[in-house]
Amino acid sequence: MAHQIATALLPVFFALALGYGAGKRKIVDNQNVSSINHMVMMFAVPAALFVSISSKSRSDITSHGGFIAVLVIAMVAVYVVTLQLQLKVFKLDKASAAVQSLTTAFPNYASIGLPLSSAVFGDEGAIAVAIGIAVGAMTISPLTIALLEDAKLGPDAPGSTLSRFCAALGKSVRKPIFWSPVLAFTLVLADVHVPDLVQTALTPIGVVGAGAALFLTGLMLSAQKVTFGPDVAYGIVMKNALMPLSVWGLCGLFGLDRLNTAEAVLLTSIPSGFFGLVFGAPFGVRPKVSGSTLMLSTGAGIVSLSVVISLLPWRG
């Protein structure tokens, strides 16, 4: 079991450490990461997801119906609870609360999800990761953008939060990180075979996706100043422990099989993601609590992921 855990986690945290070290030693600029972020989120990861999903069968996707429902409930519930706590208990402003809520509720699927799920579940893991990204892109990501826009415009701005949410949703679904896996899902469900030449063309850029995303996460972590308080402690406990525990309960309630349960629990135990900070940056919103949560949740992930992998009956 120790060898299995090391096999799953060592590549992930080695790439994270590589990016962190490069940023700390100023080998790579850890302040201006927009170009690397665009390469990862608009090209490499979408290509990797499309190649992985389009090679699957219809039954591979339809068997994840309960898995999708569990992820939607879990991610939206954690986001809403966290948002209310940030506003009413921790007294953050609306924009900072939205960024911190997304940081807590949206696991780092884009970087840690792909290599980790491949190590644990093999090729099947890519479908679960793609579903997770699509769920986040359709629900809590556009809500975050809407709240950021609402905070920027102020209380006297025309239109409602709902109208801004719909506009943000339209922007979200146009991003390759969303429509690439959705397109692949649609083609598979329609029994449309993607030509081998297309997969061959996309494979080289897709291969670098997971590694580049992990390096980018480490790079962003190196730029964060860590503070610790009740708000950060809540984010770590919620993300690394309470969220996967609640998902495990939901899987039992929905009667998910062993594989779908293992996928759901493992993927929701992945540490906090960087989407909150990425979305907040154009609005000038980079709350220290989010950077600290991202940093410490990732570090704590070494322990929490090891525990999850050792306990889940993910084989057979």
* Residues 182, 163: Cα–Cα separation, whole Å: 24
Compute the average pLDDT of residues 167-194: 82
In sequence order, the 6+-apart residues with CB closer than 8 A to the CB of 271 are 107, 108, 112, 239, 240, 294, 297, 298, 300, 301, 304, 305
| Owner of token pair 């308080």 | 229
- Got the DSSP string for 164-206? HHHHHHHHHHTSHHHHHHHHHHHHHHTTPPPPHHHHHHHHHHH
- Got the DSSP string for 243-254? HHHHHHHHHHHH
The model's pTM is 0.82
In sequence order, the 6+-apart residues with CB closer than 8 A to the CB of 19 are 28, 214, 215, 216, 217, 218, 219, 220, 221, 222
- Residue-wise pLDDT for 96-135, tens only, equals 999 999 999 999 887 788 778 877 887 778 788 888 888 8
* Residues 93, 287: Cα–Cα separation, whole Å: 10
pLDDT at 254: 93
Is residue 214 a contact partner of residue 15, using CB atoms and an 8 Å limit? yes
